[in-house]
Structure 1
């Protein structure tokens, strides 16, 4: 059963089979997949045309370690909620380039569904919900506001 409202989602993944699998799971979660890219330039072209609300971005793409650059631009230019996908969590830049967090590969359909629900709650309500398994929250989101205020 599809959830609503539909999220406009972009996939940035250089493994074609994984991208297709993600597209099916996202569609089943009530997402409107607006495009799939395998490198930085393809991702920028889709983002500029579609302004996605959410993006699943692999850290290491066909053109190298460009996922963080893609994430940074999506967040800055489009206000996109970015989730990194990576087999190498140590490659995620400090501060996560504005991304909400990261999912370690390999992951399963249940994890992606939980990540979509997490991102949807953040996009709609600007709150951090239940943490999906195999998900690492970005440091900028993991500090409660009361811990940031001076004592």
Structure 2
């Protein structure tokens, strides 16, 4: 990993135990966790301050179904790559709000590590690798390479 910069990651998850577990896995995977939020307001504050490379965002948070709004803003304003974490994949909006894809809960450490490696390749090399197992790739990433950047 010496040839790529640390991946700056934000966690947006309202289950504190799960957020802490994610932070441990991400740190162990060589990521710099720049903040954890439980709702839209907290996510926007961290996003504004830290400009993360990657955000793992639960779809349904303490303040409701705000995950897609958070994803859209992070992607549009900061170019942050977003991965949804959700127990209800049907709640992901069409087009994935610019997110790279989604992981269904419950998930394991190996899945998170694979998703981080996938996101790292996309962020730093602008290429789309093989989607990890248990990772639902966003429809916009299945388009021809010239259309990879979200609009």
Q: Classify the TM-score, shorter chain.
A: over 0.9
Q: What is the count of residue pairs matched by the alignment?
A: 147
SS at match of 2:27: helix
Q: How far off its partner does 1:142 sit? A: 1.1
**Following the alignment from structure 1 to structure 2, what is the Cα–Cα distance between the partners of residues 3 and 57?**
27
SS at match of 1:14: coil
Partner of 1:43: 43
**Following the alignment from structure 2 to structure 1, what is the Cα–Cα distance between the partners of residues 103 and 88?**
10
**Following the alignment from structure 2 to structure 1, what is the Cα–Cα distance between the partners of residues 36 and 2?**
21
Q: How far off its partner does 1:3 sit? A: 9.0
Counterpart contact for 1:95–1:140, Cα < 8 Å = yes
Q: How far off its partner does 1:5 sit? A: 2.6
Q: Which runs of 5+ in 1 are unaligned?
A: 147-151
Counterpart contact for 2:4–2:124, Cα < 8 Å = no
Q: How far off its partner does 1:145 sit? A: 4.2
C-alpha spacing 1:120/1:10, structure 2 compared with 1 (3 Å): same
Partner of 2:137: 137
Q: Which runs of 5+ in 2 are unaligned?
A: 147-151
Partner of 2:83: 83
TM-score, normalised with respect to structure 1: 0.93
CA deviations on 1:92-129 (whole Å, 9 max, x unpaired) are: 00000000000010000000000000000000111111
